[in-house]
Structure 1
Amino acid sequence: MAVPLSDVGWFFGSHSKEKNVCQSQNSVAFGGGSFAVSSRVRRCNMSTMVKSSQSENNMTVVIGEKAKSLAETWKEIHGENDWEAMLDPIEPLMKSELIRYGDMAQACYDAFDQDPGSKYCGGCQFKPDMFFEDLGLSKFGYDVTAYLYSAYNINFPIFYSKSLWPNSWSSSANWSGYVAVSNDETSASLGRRDITIAWRGTVVKREWLADMMDFLRPVTQREIDSRDPSIRVEAGFLQLYTDKDERCKFSEYSAREQIIAELSRLIQKYENEEMSITITGHSLGSALAILSAYDIAEAGIDLTKDGRDIPLCVFSFSGPRVGNARFKERLEWLGVKVLRVVNIHDKVPYMPGIFFNEHVSPIMRKVGELLPWCYSHVGEELALDHENSPFLKKTNDPRCCHNLEALLHLVDGYHGKGKKFWRSTGRNIALVNKSADFLKDYLSIPPNWWGTQNIEPNRNNMENVTGET
């Protein structure tokens, strides 16, 4: 198995204002131990690889094997062959790309302003042109071109994440994600111009309400073009995706309209280049990613003027079911590739459709199709188990099982079914406890350290985040 000698975690640092950081490595100290991780980003064009062979008690590393570059393999990683022979054992570049797109979804959480004392509560803490830089990702290689805002027209104001300021930025919109495009240097390494749409998961109360609206509704009821009126998706997801408030400049257009407009602009701008569209999200963000992918493909937005198909892929993390069996069939017929990464102990991927889903008998499925609660998962699944990690507590706490940083830690340590768990990318293990209490106590890493006092959203280092000795 070949493992690239490159930084594939991306979110290695932390939140200090300190700018004088060593350029060669970041050290993260907690309690009695420290973790050193490289901060140099040298991706995709590595010709020197690490070849590992494991025995029961040790691992040897041999340098020197020539491996394919990301530019040569991106179509397979993007699901061209439905990830056949890519996941078991997992290909190193496949792993690094999963982590990279997972980090793009995680950035939506990290940048979201949840402080009711802030004038921008419910929005993004950073400007689009400095988004990755302000998160400590100055070498990420993507430029944010647009922010996505959602409205949800419900008559319960308490369900909005709203600033206490009388002249706050918005009274009816919440920031839900962003559209980004790879810059010239990164595009050369990726082998194409990559347009990424990243969706945030559930944070505010009204999104919890959308999650609970688990009855199916035809997509045509919300102005989504469809040749098949029997295609149905979860009502709350559909409403969050298509609602708008014309009184608010941030949500006078729905999230759907914002995506279509920005994606169309970018495709026209780069129409002479090879392109890909990658959509990522966690939890509710995963559902919106799949729904928006279907909408883009159904509307033909993923076509160039000369009729070329732009590969369209979804990397879903901890996502619920989205639609019925007809939705699944149509999505696959349209050529949308979906890879769902889940923790088997997480309950969210089992919902909605607990009783009527893709696992019941054909007869029961026919019965279920007469009801508004029969769902089917889409795409391929990469199922991981947090009990295989020697660093994580064996817990059924739903907040831990559903945590995105923990799931990316599982991707980092996964090498195939039945294979030993070992961290292969150098990803900082402290990130697991960013917003959870999931790491074993002996590691002395404090729980829920993200956003604590004296910690600023800049990941250059973690020296201000210390644990008890």
Structure 2
Amino acid sequence: MLEEYIKLADICIKTYVQYHRDGLFTVPKGYKKTAEFKAEWFGKKEWFGFILENEEEVIISFRGTVSETDWLADSLAFHIDFPYGENCGKVHFGFLEVYKSCRNELFAGLKEIDKTKKVIITGHSLGAALATVFALDLAKNAAFKNIKLINYASPRVGNQKFCNAVNKEIAEIVRIVNVHDVVTLLPPITIPLPCSKNKGIFRHVKGKFKISVQKNSFGGNHNMGTYLNGLKKLRSTT
């Protein structure tokens, strides 16, 4: 269990390397790069992740917030209907808009892959939110049956109905949380909506797995490297 979480944490770090090196990163031993993808927000296209494959499994990894446009997407925390399945609740507008811009690339990258393979979807921070949206979309609209969602530092992504749909469709969900990371508490559970008596309600999907690493700063507690080191420390004590 911990070995898989550590492996995927290292893969999530590579999505940041991909961004900072304009698409270049080292493919993990034993895997091949099937596809890589960009997302667009306010006219700016950025590297956002990749698809890896070996004989047994497929890994789709999304990166988290880096640029100013990423932060803007994070801030647009109001509800919109999940558009890729019926009665699946509402999701965070900013997260969905980023996801929409890379959806076609994602499905194209998976088109030729054996649908009997295990699919692992992962991401950190904003990437965890995108991974959650993608997991439900893939479960609803593709032939893959064995889908896992393993996320790091995920914010809340949608309302309870959306979370119920994810929990129902995805058999194995792990949401790894540093208990000192405030991003995992965002958006607030309840957000008053302007010009409305209604409130936006945000919840988490199931599968919380806690670690505890205190770096005494917002960025330090949230950093993907902190999560990786926290998992390694936990492994050494068990």
TM-score in terms of structure 1 length: 0.47
Deviation, 1:217, is: 0.7
Given residue 151 of structure 2, which amino acid in structure 1 is its aligned partner?
A: S
Shift of 1:423: 5.9
Counting only pairs closer than 5 Å after superposition, residues 204-353 of structure 1 correspond to structure 2 as: 204-220=67-83, 224=84, 226-228=85-87, 231-243=89-101, 255-266=102-113, 270-271=114-115, 274-299=116-141, 301-303=142-144, 309=145, 311-353=146-188
Task: Look up the match of 1:174.
Answer: 46
Structure 2 CA distance for aligned equivalents of residues 142 and 372 of structure 1: 45
Percent identical among aligned pairs is 27
- Matches of residues 341-380 of structure 1 in structure 2 within 5 Å? 341-355=176-190, 371-380=198-207
Task: Give the Cα–Cα distance (whole angstroms) in 2 for the partners of residues 293 and 237 of structure 1.
Answer: 13
Match of 2:26 in 1: 132
Change (3 A) 1:111 1:262: closer
Letter in 2 for 1:257: N
Cα RMSD for the two superposed structures: 2.0
**Corresponding residue for residue 407 of structure 1:** 227
Task: Provide the rounded CA distance (Å) in 2 between the counterparts of 1:298 and 1:153.
Answer: 28
Q: Secondary structure at the match of 2:73?
A: helix
Unaligned residue ranges in structure 2 (runs of 5+) = 192-196
Which residue of structure 2 lines up, in the alignment, with residue 398 of structure 1?
218
Structure 1 residue runs without a partner (length 5+): 1-93, 115-122, 155-171, 188-192, 244-254, 304-308, 357-369, 388-392, 416-421, 425-469
**TM-score, normalised by the number of residues in structure 2:** 0.91
1:101 lines up with 2:8 in the alignment? yes
Larger Rg: 1
Question: What is the CA distance between 1:108 and its match in structure 2?
Answer: 0.6
1:16-59 CA distance string (max 9 Å, x none): xxxxxxxxxxxxxxxxxxxxxxxxxxxxxxxxxxxxxxxxxxxx
SS in 2 for 1:382: strand
Check 1:302–1:353 CA distance in 2 against 1; reply closer, same or farther (3 A cut).
farther
Q: CA deviation at 1:407?
A: 1.1
Structure with higher RCO (Cα < 8 A, 6+ apart): 1
Please state whether the residue corresponding to 1:132 is helix, strand or coil. coil
2:207 alignment partner AA: E
The Cα shift of 1:337 comes to 2.5
1:149 paired to 2:38: yes
Counterpart of 1:297, as a letter, is A
Q: When you count strand as a share of all residues, which structure comes out higher?
A: 2
Q: Is the Cα contact below 8 Å between 1:213 and 1:234 reproduced in 2?
A: yes
